[in-house]
Amino acid sequence: MRRIAIVGGGISGLSHAYFWKQKHPEDKIVLFSGAKIGGNIATEIFEDAILEPGPDSYLERNGLFTKMVAELGLSNELLTENNKNAKRYILKDGYLASAPKSPGGLITTSLLFFPEKFRIFFAMGKKFSLWPTITLFDAARNVLGISAAEYLASPFARGVYGSEAEDLEFSSLFPKLYTHIVNAPKLKQGLKEYNRERKEFWAAQLPEVSFKRGIYSFKGGLITWVQAIEKSLRASGIEIIQDKISRIDKSTALHTLASKTKPYGEFDRVVFTGSAADIGYVFRDFDKEFSRKIAEIKFSPINVVYNAWARKDFSQNGYGFLVPRKERAPILGTIYASNVFSGRIGDDKFLTKTMISGDSEVFKDAELASITEESIARIFKTRAKPLWSKVFRHAPGIPRYAPGYGEWKKEIGTLIAKHDGVRLAGWMVSGIGLADQLETAYTHAIEE
Ligand SMILES: Cc1cc2nc3c(=O)[nH]c(=O)nc-3n(C[C@H](O)[C@H](O)[C@H](O)COP(=O)(O)OP(=O)(O)OC[C@H]3O[C@@H](n4cnc5c(N)ncnc54)[C@H](O)[C@@H]3O)c2cc1C
């Protein structure tokens, strides 16, 4: 029997414990969750609304989530994205234009000029040798043209990563896609191979699972999922300790962990899933070089503002809109939260969730709320006022896969590999979305 420590009770730590137990039932697992289970997932009830200060939906792409939800007995709690409101918009010249939902949509979209649509068509037959540190913006410009960089890559970067496309490294956002593109004789072949590889891997892992690609949440918000995982972990004998690990050391052969007040003994494997600052602190005396290196990662501070409006003042359909940098609006984008999943607020109201980048310290809550209110009023061309606003801040923010991140990750990997049995996971190293955390936890468990 091995002793396994998983440090961090966000979705990464929870799913590591979950899949590890499934694949290695004989192991004794301890999850150190810190004070709050769920990490960024922190659903809150406010007035008559269900708010998600952090993530609000899971993008199912391979069946892993569907399988987990069924195992947890949550299928009846699941909410699927409302198909009537599937349309996404991008702000262009002050107006909302439909965003393409598939490669075919690139031909019909009004976001690109006509000659650029031809360019994309011809790009499919060309080879691209993108350098590893190329930014998302330049990769899009080189392959698809300037409008695609400004009106597709830029809003995508801002909406998903809270960063500018100029500040993100393409090969780090999409490592496997990057490798396929640079190695394929034609872009089209690279894309095809990339999709085939992903599909085949997951079809082999989850042969019995049938699933529908798309965006999901739960009637009570994503916290329902966290609570169900926690319950299942406890039922399967996993010990959950709400303490913060503050020190790692090594006894004869194994690593030992301790909090400020308590030693927790030796472990055969330790998985760290927290932020750079947390992990760097734990390693401060044990491995100074690693501790210093991990602190070099950058973050994009992000603020979230929810607004409730009278439904009679808003007839908007769709999922929401993203704002490219070129439009110079102070917000990154807005999700029409009450359109996406039913039951998020009373039927007489329209609920919006807006992301604003920037240093949390600089703006007061009231300023963030009024920036949001003015931006939405201008874009929707309305004088309506929100019934209420609620501001959430995320510091240090979203890990930024900036140019140079790939090199940093390699160096971090080399340094951590010196400590046999210690691994890193979580959104700082495994990809930015919830699905990335689940998939990494699953692959780590099958590799062990
Ligand atoms: C505003 C916002 C919106 C987002 N929207 C989406 C979305 O809609 N869909 C999506 O897929 N993704 C979204 N994301 C990304 C998603 O939130 C992350 O992928 C995910 O939460 C990362 O989980 P994690 O477990 O790696 O980290 P975290 O959620 O940060 O959890 C880490 C946990 O570890 C704990 N910890 C750290 N150090 C220690 C220690 N020494 N001992 C014990 N515990 C420790 C921390 O306290 C924390 O609870 C969003 C993120 C933000 C900020």
Give residue-wise pLDDT tens across range 215-241: 999 999 999 999 999 999 999 999 999
**pLDDT beneath 50, residues of the chain:** none
Contacts of 7 (CB under 8 A, 6+ apart): 13, 32, 245, 257, 270, 271, 272, 273, 274, 282
Distance in angstroms (rounded) separating the CA atoms of residues 270 and 277: 17
Look at ligand 1, atom 8, and give the residue with the nearest C-alpha. Answer: 55
pLDDT of residue 251: 82
Q: Which CATH class is domain 3-40+221-287+419-447?
A: alpha beta
pLDDT tens column, 128-155? 999 999 999 999 999 889 999 999 999 9
The domain segmentation of the chain, as residue ranges, is: 3-40+221-287+419-447, 102-205
Q: Which CATH class is domain 102-205?
A: mainly alpha
pLDDT of residue 315: 86
Distance in angstroms (rounded) separating the CA atoms of residues 358 and 373: 17
Give the type of residue at 410. Answer: K
pLDDT tens column, 76-93? 999 998 888 889 999 999
pLDDT of residue 83: 83
Cα 29 to Cα 4, 125, 240, 268, distances in angstroms: 5, 50, 9, 10
Binding-site residues, ligand 1, Cβ < 6 A: 7-13, 32-34, 36, 39-40, 54-59, 244-245, 273-274, 278, 282, 302, 304, 394, 398, 426-427, 432-435, 437
Percent of the chain with pLDDT over 70: 99
Which atom of ligand 1 is the closest one to the Cα of 56? Answer: 8
Task: Tell me the three state secondary structure of residue 347.
Answer: coil
434 CA to centre of ligand 1 in angstroms: 8
pLDDT of residue 82: 84
pLDDT of residue 390: 97
pTM confidence score: 0.96
